[in-house]
Amino acid sequence: MTKLSDETRASLRSRTRLVHLGRDGEQSQAFANLPPFRGSTVLYPDVATLASRAQRYTYGTHGTPTTEALCAAWTDISGAAGTVLVPSGLAAIVVALMTALSAGDHLLMTDSAYGPARAFANATLKRMGVETTYYDPCVGAGIEALMRPNTKAVLTESPGSQTFEIQDVPAIAEVAHAHGTCVLMDNTWATPLFFPPHAHGVDMAIEAGTKYLSGHSDLLLGLVSADEAWLKRLEQTAYHLAIPAGPEDAFLALRGLRTMELRLREAERQGLALARWLERRPEVMRVIHPALPDHPGHAIWKRDFAGSSGLFSVVLDPVSEAAAAAFLDGLELFGLGYSWGGYESLAVPFDAAPIRTATHWAPGGPTIRFSVGLEDIEDLKADLDRGFERLRTTP
C-alpha cells in the first residue's frame, strides 16, 4: 500500500478516512492491520538515547504503535489537535474534567449528563474543592446567568443521557469562551462523524469508545480529543493519572473504526424505522428521538448534526409496574443491558427523575431506552409486538 500523501489525505471523505487512517505498513511489517503491541519495557540502543529518551516509544504507559495509530485516526476524524486513550468512557470524562479544573473552581454540568459523571462531581470533585452547579440542558446562551468568575468548565452532553435533550453547544461555547471557560462535551451518541465537536466550539470532546467505535460489546475504552490550547495539559493529566488503555482494546477499536460509519448509518436507519413504528403504537405515549420532527430540539439537531444513531427512548402510556416488566422480561431479541452501541438490540427501563436537580423529569408513564442493533427490523418489530401483547394482558 502506498503511503497517503498529505494532499490525498486532506481530500478524503469520512468513509475512506476510516478505512485508511492509522495504518502504517512499516510498523505492521506489511500486514494490513497493526497487531496489538503488548509491552511494558521498551529497549534503548545506548545510554545516550536512554538519557535523552530521543526515540519514538519510551515506556509502555506512554503509548505503543497500536494506541498511537488509534489516536492519530481519532484526532483526524474529530478535527482535533490530539487525542488520549483511557480504559473506559467514564475514565475519559474524569480525565477531561481533571484537566480543566483545579481546587477552588466552579463546574457547570448539564442536568442530563451521564449519571456516573454526576457521581464523580458530587463526591470526588467536591472533595477536591470543586463546586458543581447543574443546569437545564436547554439553557443555550442563557448559561451566561450561571457563569461565575471561577467557572472554569462547562460539561455538555448532546443529546442527554436517556432523555435526549439537544443542547445548543455553539451558543454555550460562545458564552463560555467569552469568560475564558473550557467547554467539554460527551459526544458518544453522535461520534465525530455526526457531530464534529471541535468545529462547534468544544475544547475537549469525550467519546466512550465502548459504544459505536467498538460496535461489538466486547471492549471498554475512552477517548478525549482536544484542541491545541488544551492538548498539552490533557496529555499531562492522563499521564499523571497513569490509566493507559489496554493494547487488545486499542486493537479491537481500530478494527471497529473501519466499519464505524457503515454501522452508524445502519443504526440510524434502523433506529428511525423502529422509532416511527413505535410512534404509531397505541401503547406508546411519546417517542423521544432528536431526528423526529416533534422532538423539542429537532431544529438544533438539524442545524448541527449530520445524522442520528440508534439510541432513543419511549414513554409508554401509564401501566402497572408488572405490565411494564412483562413487556421487557419476555423479549427474546432485545437484551436487557446498559452498555449500548453494539450489534445487538437492547431495551432498558430508566427513571431520570431521582437524579435531576436543575430540571424536573416527569414523562407521565414508564420510560424505556432502546439501542437498535443490526437484526432484521421485521424480527425486532415482531419481538416488540409480542411484548405489547404481554403488556396489554398483564394486570
Ligand X SMILES: Cc1ncc(COP(=O)(O)O)c(C=O)c1O
Residue whose CB is less far from ligand X, 114 or 312: 114
Sign of CA dihedral 76, 82, 88, 94: negative
Q: Near ligand X by CB under 6 A, which window of 34-42, 83-91, 276-284, 378-386?
A: 83-91
Residue number, 139 or 213, with CB nearest to ligand X: 213
Q: Which three cell numbers stand for residue 84?
A: 488520549
The b-or-e profile of 231-250 (16+ CB within 10 A means b, else e) is beebbebbeeeebbbbbebb
Pairwise CA distance, residues 174 & 366, whole Å? 37
Interatomic CA distance for residues 147 and 112, integer angstroms: 18
Residues 312-341, one symbol each (x = binds ligand X by CB under 6 A, - = not), give --------------------------xx--
CA angle 333, 287, 282 (to 5 degrees): 80
Told to check if 89 binds ligand X by CB under 6 A, we report yes
Q: What 3-state DSSP class applies to 194?
A: helix
204-233 residues near ligand X, rule: CB under 6 A: 208, 210, 220, 222
> What x-and-dash track marks residues 105-144 binding ligand X by CB under 6 A?
---------x------------------------------
Shortest Å, Cβ 332 to ligand X: 24
> CB 204 → ligand X: shortest distance, Å?
14
Per CB under 6 A, the segment of 84-92, 131-139, 173-181, 378-386 that binds ligand X is: 84-92
For ligand X, which residue has the nearest CB? 89
| CB closer to ligand X, 208 vs 372 | 208
Per-residue contact string for residues 162-191; x = within reach of ligand X by CB under 6 A: ------------------------x-x---
Q: Pick between residue 70 and residue 220 the one whose CB is nearest to ligand X.
A: 220
Q: Which is nearer to ligand X, 112 or 151 (CB)?
A: 112
Q: State whether residue 238 is helix, strand or coil.
A: helix
CB closer to ligand X, 136 vs 249: 249
How far apart CA 98 and CA 378 sit, in angstroms, is 46
Q: Residue 85: which of 259, 252, 311, 244 has the closest Cα?
A: 244
- Asked whether the CA dihedral 50, 52, 57, 59 is positive or negative, the reply is positive
User: Which of 182, 170, 4 lies closest to 76, judged by CA?
Assistant: 4
Q: Which stretch binds ligand X (CB under 6 A): 1-9, 50-58, 85-93, 318-326?
A: 85-93
Minimum CB separation of residue 340 from ligand X in Å reads 7
Positive or negative: CA dihedral 201, 88, 16, 372: negative
Grid cell at residue 286 = 411519546
Number of residues assigned to the chain: 395
Candidates 87-95, 234-242, 351-359, 364-372; binding stretch for ligand X (CB under 6 A): 87-95
Residue 85 CB, nearest distance to ligand X (Å)?
12
Three cell numbers at 10?
486532506
Listed in sequence order, the residues at least 6 apart from 291 whose beta carbon sits closer than 8 Å to its beta carbon are 268, 272, 275, 298, 301, 307, 308
- Is there binding between residue 161 and ligand X (CB under 6 A)? yes
Q: How far is the CB of 352 from ligand X (least distance, A)?
A: 13
Min separation Cβ 115 and ligand X, Å: 9
Q: Please work out the total of residues on this chain that contact ligand X, with binding judged by CB under 6 A.
A: 13
Cβ atoms 161, 113 nearer than 8 A: yes
| Residues binding ligand X (CB under 6 A) | 88-90, 114, 161, 186, 188, 208, 210, 220, 222, 338-339
